[in-house]
Amino acid sequence: MTGPEGRAEGEDRRRGAADGSSWQPRNQRPVRAGPLGSSRLKTPYLLPRPPRNRYLVRQRDRRRMRELGRVAVAVLVVGVALLGYTWLHLELLGSGYRVDGLETKLHELERRERHLRLEEAYLSSPQRVEARATKELGMKPPELAQLVFAGPNGAPRP
């Protein structure tokens, strides 16, 4: 292949460029200037330069904005669905725990009711009432003269 002036490209590289630029082989490239490199060679390419396109304004890509909007809406819909599912699941778990607590309370109240009914039956038995009346209150069984019999219409008999 030949270059613009009819010379071979490799020839330009071996002898240097025809326009006077300094081309160097790979193993002799300049070392970067800075704290880690050698400061013997400073070229304009190695010095920081402020950007030239500071006043350029980038046009909005409407198609990309539409796609971004669609993706945002899809992510929002999925997020709301996941939040709804999580909320529903937590409410279901909470309801289950409340039902378990109420069932436990119901069983405890049923057990207490049985216990109170047995205690009522024991305390109201005639044998117990009679024994307690004679021991604690000093009562005696009534004598025949103390008894009053009622007639058929509720009046006492003579």
Question: Do residues 78 and 107 both lie within one domain?
Answer: yes
Contact status, residue 69 vs residue 63, Cβ threshold 8 Å: no
Residue type, 30: P
Domain that holds residue 74: 62-131
User: What's the pLDDT score for residue 35?
Assistant: 52
Residue type, 141: P
Question: SS3 string of 72-116?
Answer: HHHHHHHHHHHHHHHHHHHHHHHHHHHHHHHHHHHHHHHHHHHHH
Residue type, 115: H
In-domain check, residue 24: yes
Question: Do residues 66 and 119 both lie within one domain?
Answer: yes
pTM more than 0.85: no
Question: Do residues 69 and 93 both lie within one domain?
Answer: yes
Question: Do residues 32 and 47 both lie within one domain?
Answer: yes
User: What's the pLDDT score for residue 12?
Assistant: 47
User: What's the pLDDT score for residue 40?
Assistant: 56
Question: Do residues 44 and 104 both lie within one domain?
Answer: no
Give me the number of domains the chain comprises: 2
Residue 36 has pLDDT above 60, yes or no: no
In-domain check, residue 75: yes
In-domain check, residue 142: no
Phi, psi of 8 (to 5 degrees): -70, 150
Question: Do residues 53 and 92 both lie within one domain?
Answer: no
Under the banding of pLDDT at 50, 70 and 90, the label for residue 98 is very high
Residue type, 156: P
How remote is the C-alpha of 13 from its chain's centroid?
66
Residue 41 has pLDDT above 70, yes or no: no
The residue among 110, 145, 141 whose CA lies nearest residue 126 is: 141
Question: Do residues 68 and 46 both lie within one domain?
Answer: no
User: What's the pLDDT score for residue 152?
Assistant: 80
